[in-house]
């Protein structure tokens, strides 16, 4: 045989020399759940190793992550029920602890990239990403609310805004609102292909943000999040986000949608992000805790597969684990 591919696998040195995909901490985004209060670090039962943090406990944790080489973080707010209402006004209130926390974090760590979450569900008494009326999610009526939220987040110091709501036209609304207020350098990481997935459970546990089980409120998000059966539809969403001014295109979830990540990477020049969601991470953690998989081998392989598929940036609850592993 003239061609023997195994020759190029015969030693670690040769394998390393020709390795096609290299994953570093530069590619990882670490999610944090933040709550109001002090001295809080509550582990999330369905997402072991991840916590609800008060700012005073979060800042030392972020410092440890920065020392490990992590540079980008995405922040999600856990809002007390009494602060929620149908129109999500706390999302842009001056006394919003989430906005105050962002300002303090950027003051302490000016070198990091801090990403927000733009959606109504953390602040909505209905638990939806948009305004609810007569059993429907109102698209156009939601957009001004998201625009106000985005301007408030930019003013607080977020570097990138992450609209996760999946309302039609929201990227254009956000971009115009930001530019009108002088936030031309604030970027938008669009949740472009966000699927109505079964793998969001631990995230919703962490923030108590699931749709409310009450009369007149839709019980799921299938009228605005994408059907898991569809792939070509992601191209439509991506083209819209591109033309409306997005700076990143995101696929969520990641591991179960590697084909969609690859599709967007092949068809668009913008950076592609992928969200390795809570349920995907929880499954791997559970398998490792049961001794069915080896965490230090399975976790990097999962992240590598997402990067290999085409994700330039990966939001993952394993970011710190990976940083510790490669640091040795």
Angle between helix 232-244 and helix 170-180 axes, rounded to 10 deg: 20
State pTM to two decimals. Answer: 0.96
Residue that has been written with the tokens 């300002």 in this structure: 103
- Supply 177's token pair: 């609102």
Q: How does the average pLDDT of the chain come out, rounded?
A: 96
Q: Which residues touch 86 (CB under 8 Å, ≥6 apart)?
A: 124, 125, 126, 131, 132
Contacts of 6 (CB under 8 A, 6+ apart): none
For tokens 């920065």, the residue is: 66
- pLDDT surpassing 90 at residue 214: no
In CATH, what number does 23-327 get? Answer: 3.20.20.70
Q: 134-138, 200-204, 213-217, 239-243 — which one is most confidently predicted on average?
A: 239-243
55 falls in which pLDDT band (50, 70, 90)? very high
Q: Any idea which residues carry the catalytic annotation?
A: 194, 252
Cis check: omega of the bond before 253, within 30 degrees of 0: yes
Query: What pLDDT score does 240 carry?
Result: 98
Question: What radius of gyration, in Å, describes the C-alpha atoms of the chain?
Answer: 20
Enumerate the β-bridge partners of residue 193: 251
Q: Where are the domains of the chain?
A: 23-327
């Amino acid at each position: 045989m003239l061609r023997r591919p195994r020759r190029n696998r015969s030693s670690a040195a040769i394998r390393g020399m020709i390795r096609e995909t290299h994953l570093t901490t530069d590619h990882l985004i670490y999610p944090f759940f933040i709550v109001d209060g002090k001295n809080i670090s509550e582990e999330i039962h369905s997402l072991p190793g991840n916590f609800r943090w008060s700012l005073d406990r979060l800042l030392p944790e972020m410092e440890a992550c920065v020392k490990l080489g992590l540079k980008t973080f995405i922040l999600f707010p856990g809002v007390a029920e009494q602060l929620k209402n149908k129109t999500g006004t706390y999302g842009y209130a001056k006394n919003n602890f989430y906005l105050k926390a962002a300002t303090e974090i950027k003051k302490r760590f000016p070198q990091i990239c801090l990403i927000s979450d733009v959606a109504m569900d953390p602040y909505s008494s209905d638990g939806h990403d948009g305004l609810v009326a007569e059993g429907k999610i109102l698209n156009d009526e939601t957009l001004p609310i998201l625009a106000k939220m985005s301007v408030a987040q930019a003013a607080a110091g977020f570097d990138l805004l992450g609209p996760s709501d999946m309302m039609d036209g929201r990227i254009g609304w956000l971009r115009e609102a930001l530019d009108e207020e002088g936030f031309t350098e604030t970027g938008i990481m669009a949740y472009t292909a966000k699927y109505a997935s079964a793998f969001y459970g631990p995230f919703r546990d962490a923030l108590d943000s699931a749709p409310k089980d009450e009369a007149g409120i839709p019980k799921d998000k299938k009228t605005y999040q994408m059907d898991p059966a569809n792939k070509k539809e992601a191209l439509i969403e991506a083209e819209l986000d591109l033309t409306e001014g997005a700076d990143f295109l995101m696929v969520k979830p990641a591991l179960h949608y590697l084909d969609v990540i690859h599709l967007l990477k092949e068809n668009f020049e913008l950076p592609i992000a992928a969200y390795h969601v809570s349920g995907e991470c929880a499954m791997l953690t559970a398998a490792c805790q049961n001794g069915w998989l080896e965490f230090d081998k399975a976790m990097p392989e999962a992240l590598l597969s997402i990067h290999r598929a085409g994700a330039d940036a990966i939001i993952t609850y394993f970011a710190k684990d990976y940083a510790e592993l490669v640091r040795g």
